Structure formats: C-alpha cells, structure tokens
Structure 1
Amino acid sequence: MAPEGSWASSAARRRNMQAIRSRDTKPERLIRQLVHAKGLRYRVSARPIPDLRRTADMVFRPVKVAVFIDGCYWHGCPEHYVAPRTNSGYWSEKVLTNMRRDRETDQLLTNAGWLVLRFWEHEPSEMCAQRIVATVTERRAGSQKP
C-alpha cells in the first residue's frame, strides 16, 4: 500500500526513489574528473543563466557552454528507457515532462548564446570528456581572436 498522499506505489518504492541522486552521479563525477585533469575549470550544478531556474551539470560561463549528463531512465534514452510496470501512467508522464523541459532548456540557452552539450549516462566518459575539452578549447580560441 502506498503511503498516504504519496506518488510512490509502495513504501519500499518511495525509499528507493528518494535515494536516487539528482547531482554528483557516478557518470557526472567521472566526466568532471577527466575534464578537470585536462586543466579546465567549471561550475558544478549551476544555473547558466541566473534568472533561469535550470541547472546544468557543468557550466563554463566565460565561453557559454552548458553540459548535461542525462540519466537514461529520467530523460527517456531511446536505447535504454523502459516504461515501468507499476504506476506506469504517472512515471511515463514524468519522463515525458522531463524530455520536454530538456528541449525547452536547450532552446532557451541557445537563444541566449549558449552552446548546450548533452550526453547520456551510458556514453563512454572518456569520449564525453574529450568532446567537452575540445569544445571549450575551441570556443576559448575563437573568443580571443581580434
């Protein structure tokens, strides 16, 4: 039986869902470590645009690059998302809402002159870090030309 007024299908499910991290996940930490080792510095879980209530996993403010490492379940990965069997209507709508918000965030940041990089949690961390380093380095070089 679900706790009174809860979105969870059971007390055990509620505990499980509450334990899921919204930041500092293993893929995020590994990618950050690799990018940091290449000498780049960034903000963690920061708002790229202060007035926008959205946070990116890594923010490179001077060159306007926002990085998101999306979880396969919560962001609807086309390769790995599997709709839940319990309370599927609620959770499917939740994931769909997350996906819409992701697209809206991308558009808002792009309109404000930001470059958005999105990676799935299952992508190789080394590849993600290389792309981030290359993009930030390229934008730094481009902004310093006379």
Structure 2
Amino acid sequence: MDKITPEQRSYTMSRIRSKDTKPEMVVRRHLHALGFRYRLHSSKLPGHPDIVLSKWHTVIFVNGCFWHRHEGCKAASTPKSNVEFWNAKFDRNVARDREEHAALEASGWHVIVIWECEVKQRIGFLKEEIISGNNSNSTTRQMP
C-alpha cells in the first residue's frame, strides 16, 4: 500500500525528468571537458539518444536504473502497489530499449549505455570506450 495519496504520487511522478538529468549532465560535462562535441536527444535517430557524437558515429544513453531495469542494482526495485502495471511498464521499457539499440547498430552506430548508479565510477573510461568502439566490430557496450 502506498504511503502517500494519489495526488501526491501524481505530483511526484510529474517532476521526474527525462532530459538533463543529473547523471546525464555529469557525462555531458565530462565529454565537453575532454574536447568532445555532441548533439542532444536527436529525433532523427531511434530512441532519441541522450548524447550523439556524430564524428565518432557513437550514441550514449544515460539510463536510470529504476526505469530501465538495471539488473542487480538495488535502485531497480519494483513498487509494492500496482505491481502488474509496473512490471508490464518495465518490460515494455526494456523491450523498447533493445529494439532501439538494435536499430542503431544496424545503421552502424556504436551504442554505449551508462547506468545511473555507475556514472561516477565509470566516467574515466568514457574516452577510451568512444575511441575503441569506433575501431571494433562489436557495437553495443555497457561501461566496463
């Protein structure tokens, strides 16, 4: 049972951002400091990637662990109320992510997924990931 009213829950959920989140901003600032220039949320690409590095033919998704179901992460818990709704929603999110990544890969894009819980620990590998991804056959990677 939810501890807050439906109105409070609605307000809380309405405040959740899909763009310019704190983890995304950390990644963007780091990329800019490294000299990378990029586009944001391109509507021309499947999935509207958070960051598009056209020169490197690389896209970066900064995924929230809760919404995109990061396996093994404590933030990927399921709410206790309306469980069927949430499970269906999360399943759709994960399936959509897979389809979008596959479409990007089929178009020759290198896809990097950075999980919200890993941003601070993994940010140092980003430059190498972008550069090495451009020279390999494998296109989808999560940060090591």
TM over 0.5: yes
| C-alpha distance in structure 2 between counterparts of 1:139 and 1:106, whole Å | 15
Report the equivalent of 1:94: 89
| C-alpha distance in structure 2 between counterparts of 1:120 and 1:131, whole Å | 13
Residue segments in structure 2 that go unaligned for 5+ positions in a row: 137-144
What is the 5 A alignment of 1:1-146? 10-47=6-43, 50=44, 52-78=45-71, 79-80=73-74, 81-125=76-120, 127-128=122-123, 130-138=124-132
| C-alpha distance in structure 1 between counterparts of 2:77 and 2:133, whole Å | 37
Which amino acid is the alignment partner of residue 16 of structure 1? T
Aligned residues: percent identity? 32
Residue segments in structure 1 that go unaligned for 5+ positions in a row: 1-8
Name the Cα RMSD after superposition. 2.0
Asked which structure has the greater CA Rg, the reply is: 1
Q: CA deviation at 1:139?
A: 6.0
Q: CA deviation at 1:31?
A: 1.1
Q: How many residues align?
A: 130
| C-alpha distance in structure 2 between counterparts of 1:141 and 1:96, whole Å | 33
- TM-score, normalisation: structure 1: 0.80
